[in-house]
Amino acid sequence: MKPSCCLASVAALALPLLLSGCYLLPTTRKLPIPKAPLVTQTVAPEELVARLNQRWAALDSLTASVEIQASVLKSKEGVATDYTSIRGHILMRKPELLRVLGQVPVLGSRMFDMVGDGKNFTIWIPSSNTAYKGSYALTKKSSNPLLNLRPGFFLDAIVVRGLEPDDLYSVVADSEIVPDAARKHLFNVPEYILSISRHKPGSNQLTPVRVITFHREDLLPYEQDLYDSEGNLETHVTYLDYRDFGTGKYPSTLVIKRPLDFQVVLTVDKVVENQKPPLTDDQFVFKLTEGTQIQNLE
């Protein structure tokens, strides 16, 4: 008999023994046990949606003092360019009024000033005395990624809107294992995932609009994915470390990422919802200085 045949025969005889466990030497090791939250709430899908709608309906305006840190992403090249953090102020009033003001570090003067009314927007760069005007929502990307920061992008990220009457939705329960490297723990985070879609015009096809992830410990949104009209993921927002700012709970950090373009991290110092006296129209208007160059964006 050839040596190779002998080896094959021995292997064939040994295989049943190995499978039976007679020649296996098992060892036991401990695995970290994920810690569950002290409270896990259970609600029906319609109640989860009702809570979101009520929270959105109760919000008329919002002002926030933040630190803004922007990064330009070149995902295909594996390169990110980070910009110096700046102070900023955000004013929002329903239905679509928004103003975002960025300040020059140390000096405190205006680095940029952006306003939008739901249809159009203007962003003014005082250092070059240039103003860019365009549509409220981004329709065509600029070669300068920072000019793609339209008011609609900010508004959709800083507040989680309620559902529109023609929105369709589904809710699934899930859980996520989250590591805590500092404490060397694992946490089991139960979640509800709300998927919102609409019928594509003239078709029975459903197009995704948003996906919102709620933690079942407090039933607050911790992630939001926003899709464009073609159903492509456009923006991913993470809401971290909710705090009570006096007029309600609001995340102290927002990570707003458009995977192909840029990322903006907002670190929140102060938030006021439905401030008194109410925000006025003139707070969403600024006057351009004489000689300002105006460039129109598509």
| Domains of the chain by start residue, with CATH | 45-284 (2.50.20.10)
pLDDT tens-digit profile of 45-103?
999 999 999 999 999 999 999 999 988 877 677 777 888 899 999 999 999 999 999 99
Closest among 69, 91, 93 to 82, alpha carbons compared: 69
Q: Where are the beta strands (DSSP E) in the chain?
A: 61-74, 79-82, 86-93, 97-103, 110-116, 120-125, 130-135, 168-180, 185-199, 206-215, 220-227, 233-244, 249-258, 262-273, 293-296
Q: How far apart (Å, rounded) are the C-alpha atoms in residues 67 and 88?
A: 6
pLDDT tens-digit profile of 267-279?
999 999 999 999 9
pLDDT tens-digit profile of 174-211?
998 888 766 677 878 899 999 999 998 888 899 999 99
Higher pLDDT, 44 or 78: 44
Residue 169 makes CB contacts below 8 A (sequence gap 6+) with 45, 49, 163, 194, 195, 196, 197
Quote the pLDDT of residue 83: 86
Quote the pLDDT of residue 242: 96
Higher pLDDT, 139 or 280: 280
Q: How far apart (Å, rounded) are the C-alpha atoms in residues 275 and 97?
A: 15
Quote the pLDDT of residue 290: 84
pLDDT tens-digit profile of 206-230?
999 999 999 999 999 999 999 988 8
Q: How far apart (Å, rounded) are the C-alpha atoms in residues 239 and 280?
A: 28
CB 246 within 8 A of CB 272: yes
User: What is the pTM assigned to this prediction?
Assistant: 0.85
pLDDT class of 154 with cuts at 50, 70, 90: confident
Expressed in percent and rounded to 5, the helix, strand and coil fractions of the chain are 15, 45, 40
Quote the pLDDT of residue 21: 58
